[in-house]
């Protein structure tokens, strides 16, 4: 460990324990989840700070909008942050490039440290009110068949929650595969051309500048680097981890892992490619609201609801958080 992370509180670890915990921590974007501490980034350096879990009062996601995001124009729309509120009153905000990394980190904290709230105070209040409104839609009494369906789904949800990370990985791989499959080859070619042009411009500009061949050669260097960064920012450049073959292989691995797991439970209620706790929750709600009685009917209701959702439909925060996780599973399988 060349650079030891700095503690954000007076509750510190000795260097040996800190080094071991950081080395084994699970990376989530620029942050990390260790056994004893949460590792946080600065603007430039990943996992350069740490705070022990007993010193954390609350951790949650905050999404800010860039100017381009508000106008609907510009390269970048939303900027995700992880906000960590400490018991000593301090607050640390960590910037992320990918919102899914924040969500994955928060889900892991929910599993490993359920005592730490993972929503802001305002969000908790909104979720509480939303839950109250949701319960008002439930039937006062379920039929014996509906009750049996709910009981089976609740047991399936608990079974999947034992390996929640595996289910989340399945959903992530589905989303990744859909993204990679949807990239237009023309965009890939255009990004490669921009990258090559940027490299050529930067090299020529540097050569001309060093040898004083022309005035303004520095602008070729600046233009070249701007083109290179733009090509990288598009996230369509083919690489070892950004191509259709890689996406297919990762999806097949995740699906096989989940299939083997659900096969160990006789009579699992849904196919392995839909085996996620959120799917179980949505099916349970469909039955409690009287929209279905049998498990097969509840799954069809979930499919119809997800299929009907598009960017123009306004949903609650809870609905949004669920949909962004599980809709790729259904879309990838074409809702079969």
Encoded tokens for 55: 């010193």
- The per-residue pLDDT for 240 is 67
For residue 153, which of 257, 273, 275, 331 has the smallest C-alpha distance? 275
Q: What DSSP string describes 181-230?
A: HHS-HHHHHHHHHHHHHHHHHHHHHHHHHHHT-STTHHHHHHHHHHHHHH
* Location of structure tokens 């047991």: 155
pTM of the model: 0.72
- The per-residue pLDDT for 141 is 93
Give the number of other CB atoms < 10 A from CB of residue 118.
18
- The per-residue pLDDT for 157 is 94
pLDDT digits (tens, 9 = 90+) for 261-280: 999 988 899 999 999 999 99
Q: Which residues of the chain have pLDDT under 70?
A: 1-2, 65-78, 240
Q: What DSSP string describes 106-170?
A: HHHHHHH-TTS--S-HHHHHHHHHHHHHHHHTS-SS--HHHHHHHHHHHHHHHHHHTTHHHHHHH
- The per-residue pLDDT for 171 is 92
- In words, the CATH class of domain 6-118 is mainly beta
For residue 276, which of 307, 334, 321 has the smallest C-alpha distance? 321
**CA–CA dist 79, 75 (Å, integer):** 12
pLDDT digits (tens, 9 = 90+) for 188-238: 788 888 989 989 998 988 888 888 888 888 888 898 899 888 888 777 777
**CA–CA dist 250, 177 (Å, integer):** 8
Judge whether 227 and 197 are in contact, CB under 8 Å: yes
- The per-residue pLDDT for 78 is 67
- Where exactly are the structural domains of the chain? 6-118, 128-182+242-332, 185-233
Judge whether 326 and 306 are in contact, CB under 8 Å: yes
């Amino acid at each position: 460990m060349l650079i030891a992370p700095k503690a954000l509180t007076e509750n510190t670890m000795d260097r040996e324990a800190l080094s071991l915990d950081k080395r084994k921590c699970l990376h989530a974007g620029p942050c990390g989840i260790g056994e004893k501490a949460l590792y946080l980034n600065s603007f430039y350096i990943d996992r350069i700070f740490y705070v022990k879990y007993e010193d954390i009062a609350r951790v949650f996601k905050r999404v800010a909008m860039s100017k381009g995001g508000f106008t609907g124009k510009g390269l970048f729309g939303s900027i995700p942050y992880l906000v960590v509120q400490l018991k000593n009153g301090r607050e640390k905000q960590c910037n992320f490039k990918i919102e899914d990394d924040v969500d994955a980190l928060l889900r892991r904290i929910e599993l490993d440290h359920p005592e730490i709230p993972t929503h802001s105070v305002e969000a908790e209040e909104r979720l509480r009110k939303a839950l109250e409104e949701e319960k008002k839609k439930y039937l006062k009494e379920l039929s014996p068949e509906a009750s049996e369906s709910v009981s089976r789904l609740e047991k399936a949800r608990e079974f999947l929650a034992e390996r929640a990370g595996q289910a989340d990985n399945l959903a992530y791989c589905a989303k990744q595969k859909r993204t990679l499959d949807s990239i237009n080859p023309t965009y890939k070619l255009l990004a490669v051309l921009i990258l090559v042009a940027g490299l050529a411009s930067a090299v020529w500009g540097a050569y001309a500048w060093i040898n004083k061949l022309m005035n303004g050669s520095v602008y070729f260097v600046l233009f070249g680097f701007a083109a290179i960064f733009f090509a990288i920012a598009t996230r369509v450049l083919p690489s070892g981890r950004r191509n259709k073959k890689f996406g297919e292989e990762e999806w097949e691995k995740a699906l096989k892992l989940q299939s083997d797991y659900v096969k160990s439970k006789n009579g699992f209620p849904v196919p392995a490619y839909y085996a996620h706790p959120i799917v179980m929750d949505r099916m349970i709600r469909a039955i409690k609201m009287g929209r279905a009685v049998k498990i097969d009917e509840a799954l069809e209701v979930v499919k119809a609801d997800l299929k009907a959702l598009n960017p123009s439909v306004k949903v609650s925060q809870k609905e949004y958080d669920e949909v962004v996780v599980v809709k790729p599973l259904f879309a990838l399988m074409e809702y079969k």
